């Protein structure tokens, strides 16, 4: 049994009955979120997905972290393949009563993982030149997209935890931004997909971050050049995922 399955009571709906197919750990993760006008996000989403709000406010997140222990079910993690930086740009949507994540982009420093994720999960992955290392001021993280299918999006940020660990309470903004148990994607033919995921409740800490460079949302025409509205850090999260299925709306 995967360790994440030892914690199930917090799930908002039952886990899928079919076997999960992929496992991974997320380390040294920063949730950087900006409050943005709903119309700026709504125009970027498929019409059949509903933009999710918290107290009538929409949000966009930039999430750098390090992927570790990536493996398929029944296989061991391969050291040279299973550890690499990743960077997500995301917002929050619902469909058929299930709140989830919509990714505008996902950058990873692993070409094989990028192509497999595009093929299997139909997510907008891009390859990038990326580095994450520990320093006296925290995690020093840099990313520059090199994939010809994207632009020249870049991120340079130093971040770290501030304060004790906590679990977000249901109904709070922290819960809304982090406790999500599915993702949505779209095939090239327009068909929408839902991918179920599972993880224990997030162990969050408040965070501080210094952004030296951030152009991750320039092609979305959304301004994230200002300081984030809210920051959280998580040292480790364990996750499993199921194959995506067709979304019927």
Which CATH number covers residue 48?
A: 2.40.400.10
Q: How many other CB atoms are there within 10 angstroms of residue 90's CB atom?
A: 22
Whether residue 37 is contained in a domain is answered as yes
CA distance 132 to 229: 23
Whether residue 249 is contained in a domain is answered as no
Whether residue 80 is contained in a domain is answered as yes
pTM: 0.96
Whether residue 51 is contained in a domain is answered as yes
38 band by pLDDT with thresholds 50, 70 and 90? very high
How many structural domains is the chain composed of?
1
> pLDDT tens digits, residue range 113-159?
999 999 999 999 999 999 999 988 899 999 999 999 999 999 999 99
Whether residue 77 is contained in a domain is answered as yes
Range of the domain at 164: 22-242
Whether residue 158 is contained in a domain is answered as yes
CA distance 100 to 176: 10
Whether residue 16 is contained in a domain is answered as no
Mean pLDDT of the chain: 96
> pLDDT tens digits, residue range 204-240?
999 999 999 999 999 999 999 999 999 999 999 999 9
CA distance 118 to 62: 20
Whether residue 60 is contained in a domain is answered as yes
């Amino acid at each position: 049994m995967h360790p994440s399955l030892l914690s199930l009571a917090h799930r908002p709906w039952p886990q899928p009955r079919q076997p999960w197919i992929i496992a991974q750990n997320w380390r040294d993760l920063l949730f950087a979120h900006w409050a943005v006008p709903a119309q700026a996000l709504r125009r970027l989403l498929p019409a059949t997905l509903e933009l999710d709000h918290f107290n009538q406010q929409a949000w966009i997140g930039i999430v750098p972290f390090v992927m570790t222990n990536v493996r398929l079910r029944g296989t061991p993690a391969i050291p040279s393949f299973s550890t690499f930086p990743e960077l997500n740009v995301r917002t929050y949507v619902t469909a058929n009563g299930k709140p989830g994540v919509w990714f505008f982009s996902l950058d990873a420093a692993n070409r094989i993982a990028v192509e497999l994720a595009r093929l299997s999960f139909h997510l907008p992955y891009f390859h990038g030149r990326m580095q994450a290392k520990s320093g006296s001021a925290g995690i020093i993280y840099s990313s520059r997209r090199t994939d010809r299918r994207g632009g020249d999006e870049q991120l340079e940020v130093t971040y770290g935890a501030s304060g004790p660990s906590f679990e977000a309470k249901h109904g709070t903004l922290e819960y809304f931004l982090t406790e999500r148990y599915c993702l949505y994607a779209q095939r090239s033919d327009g068909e929408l997909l839902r991918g179920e995921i599972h993880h224990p409740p997030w162990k969050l800490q408040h965070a501080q971050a210094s952004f030296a460079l951030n152009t991750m949302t320039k092609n979305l025409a959304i301004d994230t050049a200002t300081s984030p509205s809210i920051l959280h850090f998580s040292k480790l999260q364990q996750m499993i995922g199921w194959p995506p299925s067709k979304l019927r709306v």
